[in-house]
Chain A
Amino acid sequence: MSYLIDNTEGAQYLLMGNEAIARGALEAGAKVVCGYPGTPSSDIIESLAKIAKDMNIYVEWSTNEKVAMEVAAAGSFAGLRSMCVMKQNGVNVASDFLLHLAGSGTRAGMVLVSCDDPGALSSANEGESRFFARLVEIPLLEPGDFQEAKDMIKWAFELSEEIRNLVMVRSVTRMSHASGNVKFGKLPPGDVHAVFKCDGFILDPMEGAVMSLPVRYKHALQQEKIKKAGEIFEDCPFNSYHGPEKPEVLIITSSACNLYSREAIGILGVEDRVGLLKLGTTWPLPPELLKRHLSRTDKILIVEEVLPFLEENVKILAAEMAPEIGIKTFHGKNDGTIPAVGELNPDLVVGALAQIVGIDYKPVPDEYAEKAEGVPTSRAPARELTFCPGCPHRASFWSIHNALQLDGRKGFVCGDIGCYGMATLPCGFSTLKTLHAMGSGGGIASGFGKLGRLGFDQPVLAVCGDSTFFHAEVPALINAVHHNSDFTLVVLDNSGTAMTGFQPHPGLKVSAMGEDVTSVDIAEICRALGARVEIRDPFDLGETQETLNELIEDKAGLKVLILRQICALSPEKKAGKKYDMTIDDEICLGENCGCNKVCTRIFRCPGLVWDKEKMVTRVDDVICSGCGVCADICPEGAIKRKEVA
């Protein structure tokens, strides 16, 4: 049984931030939890899915974030505490519903958890989700440590019920994925009875229709709610100040930056000179609380990641309060004291603070920095991002690349987020030429596919993963079919949401909770749309390339090629080798005319290594996954595959 459902009050566990958030939802008695996978948010749903049956809660990996928020909202409307979870750009996907939900209000507590990814460690963007709270006028909380990550979720549900509206909680990678001690509270009794009351007076918030109409009335109501939240925030336990009564410098911060700031103050030994205002309620800012703390000093440093959200909001308040608190000097992202892009860390905060308090301190001495810079280039082999050994994408893009080269009309591929986004790099033979949001490959291709009348004659391909297909590709395909746009969509179907850890999606027969569910067939959807559909195994290079060329030349509008091969890291495949691979040194042409290392110079599966001394290729048996594809790359047949008995 999972430690997450240990009902011993006061029990302490070392929890990852995302687990703490999950535990918070359990302690709050959340009954409906859904989301769409996306690093760094995925572990929250995964943790809860494992214990969903034990705890009698409904957990779902939804088709996309908007649907996830809608499913969660249904829980709230039916009187169940509910939570939806997504990464930063997922909030963009959900934002249309978010706007309307914020207008209609909620019933039982509902919390939106957004896990942002400063520095885009696992993202194709450095999106900032906090502005959504301000944009749609809902309260925003940011946990500043791991205990808070749990406690704040429970508090967020209570706040949501207090104001009858959605509450947003924003985490970041270093909060979600780092770990800390968390003291448990009690789990509530699990008896609930879901019912949607909708026969009352139409404007009754608990028994009427749930909608954002009439807009003026509901909007005014919504503003009363956010104002009330602001009042509650004045005494919120998650806002705290540490430091002298009258510090030289006041740091205002939130989230993981709270930890960096505490560390920075300690490292510089300026506990008696610098005050730290750590905010847990970052929208709306509680004005009285801010006034109190801003009055302490004239020098303010705002430490936060991604966009200057806190900084701008504090400045607005400070401008309004200027007659009372005086003129302040602000340091932060706007004046460049804090870097405008990328993650923060204690060193960066130390550097910023040292500069302001006039301490000559270099977090990393020049000599050390110089040495450190030299180490990776002198000692470690040059490496770049690449697909795993046995990755079906390498084989797929090999064929796509070759088909486009053979075609010779300067064709290209439009794509989106996923492991296959690396096809912009040499590991995918630099085939992918546009990369944007989920499903954007199809939409952009649909546009290119209509430019024929304007002189455009390059073949257009789009790629998407199987999970992405359901998430956001379908409307683009409908658009393409409806407008008779000419392009070929390649669905890289590796049987799961592979990049984020094999979460199930609508194409699979099992749900997040491990229940049998109806699978939705990608090929049938495409056929029903009227597309020509072919299905191939990307490991069959010849057939895949031939099919691609045939589809590229077929001018009949939308064509779909589904390349089906399970991800090399999937639990089903892992450790199971289909082939033992060996090299025949006598046959290997190596660098000679006729080959010139096509396997290690171009195909570049990490499982193949160039032996500089013998001038032949070697198989790295430790990482070779035995897919056998390289045997078909070798022009001489020097790479041998033998089926594993």
Chain B
Amino acid sequence: MKVFGANELLEDVFEKNLCIGCGACTYLCPYFRSYRGKTAILFPCNLTQGRCWAYCPKVEVDLDDLSERFFGRPYEKDPLGFHRSVKISKAGRQVSEGSFQAGGTVSALMSFALSKGYISAAALTDREGLRPVPRLAQSTDDILRCSSSKYTASPTLSALNQAINEGHNQIGVVGTPCQVLAIAQMRSNPMGDKDFSDPVSLVVGLFCTWAVDFREFDAFISERIEGSRITKVDIPPPPAEIMEVYTDNGKIEIPLDEIRELVPNTCSYCTDMTAEFSDISVGVLEGRPDMNTIITRTERGEKIVDEARKEGFLILDDIGKENLEHLIWAAGNKKKRAFIKAKQEGMLNAREEGARCYLRVRPETVEEIIA
């Protein structure tokens, strides 16, 4: 993997508006910080190589390398990424009631992993008003407080980096595909640190088609709710095409087309809907608001899902053929669109000496995907 430094990160990601504000580069050093949904660089750093660059999911991501490392094979065209199983799920009776989006599968998995000691803390995303706030959860109550989708790009990984700084070494993380990609890069020790040991014990990925820019979303919603307090935000599964914002003064509905205007451009280059480098990925299930779709990818993911089911934290069922086909169709569409766009704009596989690019993946695979 090619590793550069903060100056190149500024040039390749910040100046090109590709930063999604995932938080991967923050709290590694005194220079990168997250603030109100955006990543800021406080001062220039002139090191030629840095973790900020190495972890960033928006530059020099070598999908084949990562796939080899985590799944023992090069990156393939499968819209869902490498996986062991796809099922549907919801929280079991061992999980106390929470304000879940859909089936509560993510809260159930994290609660289970924490209660079994598989993880000692979880880097999650809480919310203050509309603002996503990274949290390091260390109890089941903490985990449940962070339940439900935020729909805004959030700097969750700043909680992860701070947890590592504080010495945690068995951390669970719940993240969007871009965040999960950053974690995968972090876990592959790109700086070749001799003392490196993987501090992340469980990665639960969230399905994501896009996220909105928090600052724009905040300004947009503030105009419409006139000081009311937001209690929950939901996008019901298709074909609803609306966002529901619940406030203490009732619910307002906003057409999704208006919300999509607030999606940062960087999401249009994202090839991953289902967080392909997670242990387990979870999303909504069309037509069943009480259930989630759950994809198991790794051995340890499979083990946790299985145990959680056995111990009453998770209820699993088979995904129907139609739902699976729809999932593959949606994920494939996102992947294809993004690869076409990235390729057209020359963001793939830069070959010239010293050239840097967004993604690296075998050209044959790219052709298969966009065919």
**Complex interface: chain B residues within 8 A of A408 (CB):** 35, 38, 40
**Distance in Å from the Cβ of B204 to the closest Cβ of chain A?**
28
How near does chain B come to A260, taking the closest CB pair, in angstroms? 46
Contact of A593 among B35, B36, B47 (CB under 8 A): B47
- Rounded to whole angstroms, the CA-CA distance of A602 and B29 in the bound complex is 13
Chain A residues with Cβ below 8 Å from B31 are 596, 598
Q: Identify which of A405, A594, A598 contacts B41 (C-beta below 8 A).
A: A405
Contact pattern, B 23-51, Cβ under 8 Å of A = 1, otherwise 0 = 00000111101011010111101110111
Which residues of chain B come closer than 8 Å to A405, judged between CB atoms? 33, 40-43
State the CA gap A595–B46 with chains docked (Å).
Answer: 11
Flag A549-561 by CB within 8 Å of B: 1 or 0 each: 1000000000000
The answer to whether A402 touches B42, judged by C-beta atoms less than 8 angstroms apart, is: yes
Given contacts A406-B40, A408-B40, contact A593 B51 (CB under 8 A): yes
Q: Which one of A401, A593, A596 has the greatest number of beta carbons of chain B within 10 Å?
A: A593
CB-contacts of A568-611 with B (<8 A):
591, 593-596, 598, 602
Given contacts A406-B35, A408-B35, A549-B35, contact A596 B29 (CB under 8 A): yes
Q: Is the CB of A596 within 8 A of B47?
A: yes
Contact with A along B47-61 (1 / 0, CB 8 A): 101110000000000
| Bound Cα distance A460, B235 (Å) | 38
Q: In the complex, what residue of chain A is closest to B34 when comparing beta carbons?
A: A406
* CB closest residue in chain A, given B6: A596
Residue from the list A406, A407, A549, A598 in contact with B30, Cβ < 8 A: A598
Total chain B interface residues with beta-carbon distance under 8 A: 19
Q: What is the distance, in angstroms, from B266's C-beta to the closest C-beta of chain A?
A: 15
CA separation between A401 and B51, bound complex, in Å?
24
Smallest CB separation, A634 vs chain B (Å): 8
C-alpha spacing A602/B46, complex, angstroms = 11
- Bound form: Cα–Cα A87–B339 in Å: 68
Most buried by B among A549, A602, A633: A602
Pair A596/B42 contact, Cβ less than 8 Å: no
Specify which chain B residues have a CB less than 8 angstroms from the CB of A326 in the assembled complex. Answer: none
Main secondary structure of the interface of B (DSSP, over half): loop
Question: Closest Cβ of chain A: how far from B53's Cβ, in Å?
Answer: 10
Residues of the A chain whose Cβ atoms lie less than 8 Å from the Cβ of B191: 593
Contact of A595 among B29, B33, B40 (CB under 8 A): B29
A190 CB–B CB distance under 8 Å:
no
Least Cβ distance of A188 to chain B in Å?
A: 62
- Contact status B45-A594, CB under 8 Å: no
CB atoms of A401 and B30 under 8 A apart: no
Q: Which residues of B, 55-83, contact A by the 8 Å Cβ criterion?
A: none
Q: With A and B bound together, what is the CA distance between A219 and B248 in angstroms?
A: 74
Whether A596 contacts B45 in the complex (CB less than 8 A), given A406-B33, A549-B35, A635-B29, comes out as yes
Contacts of A595 in B (CB 8 A): 29-30
Known: A593-B29, A593-B51, A595-B30. A602 touches B43 (CB 8 A): yes
Cα–Cα distance between A596 and B43 once the two chains are bound (Å): 11
User: Shortest CB–CB separation between residue A152 and chain B, in angstroms?
Assistant: 53
Nearest chain A CB to B10 CB, angstrom units: 12
Residues of A near B50 (CB, < 8 A) are: 593
Cα of A593 to Cα of B191 in the assembled complex, Å: 10
Closest Cβ of chain B: how far from A549's Cβ, in Å? 7
Question: A594 and B35: CB pair below 8 A?
Answer: no
Complex alpha-carbon distance, A108 and B45, angstroms: 65
B29 touches which one: A401, A407, A594 (CB < 8 A)?
A594
- Cα distance A402–B31 when bound, in Å? 10
Q: How close is B26's CB to chain A, nearest CB, in angstroms? A: 11
Residues 611 to 645 of chain A near chain B (Cβ within 8 Å): 633, 635
In residues 351-401 of chain A, which contact B (Cβ within 8 Å)? 401
Chain A residue with minimal CB distance to B28?
A594
| Closest Cβ neighbor of B193 among chain A residues | A593
* B28: chain A residues within 8 A (beta carbon): 593-594
List CB contacts (< 8 Å) of A283-330 with chain B. none
Q: Which of B35, B47, B49, B51 contacts A407 (CB 8 A)?
A: B35
Whether the Cβ atoms of A593 and B30 lie closer than 8 Å is no
Contacts of B40 in A (CB 8 A): 405-408
Q: Point out which of B30, B41, B51 has the most chain A C-beta atoms below 10 A from its C-beta.
A: B30
Q: Tell me the nearest residue of chain A to B46, going by C-beta.
A: A596
Q: How far is the CA of A405 from the CA of B38 in the complex (A)?
A: 10
B43 and A598 contacting across the interface, CB-CB below 8 Å? yes
Closest Cβ–Cβ distance, residue B260 to chain A (whole Å)? 23
With both chains docked as a complex, state the minimum distance between the C-beta of B226 and any C-beta of chain A, in angstroms: 16
- Closest Cβ of chain B: how far from A202's Cβ, in Å? 64
* Chain A nearest CB, measured from B79 CB (Å): 35
Query: Which A residue sits closest to B49, measured CB to CB?
Result: A593
- The answer to whether B30 and A635 touch across the interface, beta carbons within 8 angstroms, is yes
Q: Which B residues lie within 8 Å of A635 (CB)?
A: 29-30
1/0 per residue, CB under 8 A from B, across A406-435: the answer is 111000000000000000000001000000
Chain A residues within 8 Å of B, Cβ to Cβ:
401-402, 405-408, 429, 549, 591, 593-596, 598, 602, 633, 635
Told that A402-B33, A405-B41 touch, could you supply 17 new A-B pairs with CB distance under 8 A? A402-B42, A405-B42, A408-B38, A429-B43, A549-B35, A591-B47, A593-B28, A593-B47, A594-B28, A594-B29, A596-B29, A596-B47, A598-B29, A598-B30, A598-B43, A602-B30, A635-B30
Q: What are 6 sample pairs from A and B whose C-beta atoms fall under 8 A apart?
A: A402-B42, A408-B35, A549-B35, A593-B28, A595-B30, A635-B30
Minimum-distance CB pairs A-B, first 5: A406-B35, A598-B30, A635-B30, A406-B40, A593-B50
